[in-house]
């Protein structure tokens, strides 16, 4: 299984550009950043960081599930916040989704995200052996 292949599910938003929802190769899964889009309508969900974080994590959950993975399989996340002032509220929701040992994480504030989202999260997961 050394060839890379695209990961795709209708349970998460479709790509809005020339990229895959995710790529898998050799038991590793690299999922593109998720913003708070409703997978059915393609519209933004939530007006605040709490609502948007919940939607983003729901989209990530759908991508993971499509590959028989769970949040426990996530080894690294990268979080892009429009406003670092939202860090505490974001962290409260994030800590309910992931459990110890938590994935490694980078969090950065950015000037702007696609569709003016308040948050985007990308994840890397690894398939457990056995």
Domain boundaries, the chain: 5-126
Q: What percent of the chain has pLDDT over 90?
A: 92
Question: Dihedral sign, CA of 72, 68, 121, 24?
Answer: positive
Indicate the average pLDDT of the chain: 95
CA angle 129, 55, 124 (to 5 degrees): 30
Class of domain 5-126: alpha beta
User: Taking the model in full, what pTM does it have?
Assistant: 0.95
* Token pair for 66: 């499509």
Confidence of residue 128 (pLDDT cuts 50, 70, 90): confident
């Amino acid at each position: 299984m050394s060839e890379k292949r695209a990961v795709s599910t209708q349970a998460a938003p479709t790509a809005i550009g020339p990229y895959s929802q995710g790529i898998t190769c050799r038991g590793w899964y690299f999922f593109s950043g998720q913003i708070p889009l409703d997978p059915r309508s393609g519209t933004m969900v939530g007006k605040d960081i709490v609502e948007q974080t919940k939607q983003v994590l729901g989209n990530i959950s759908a991508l993971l599930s499509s590959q028989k993975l769970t949040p426990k399989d996530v080894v690294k996340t990268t979080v892009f916040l429009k406003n670092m002032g939202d860090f505490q509220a974001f962290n409260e929701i994030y800590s309910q989704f992931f459990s110890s040992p938590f994935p490694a994480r980078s969090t950065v504030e950015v000037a702007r995200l696609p569709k003016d989202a308040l948050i985007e999260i990308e994840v890397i997961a690894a398939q457990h052996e056995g």
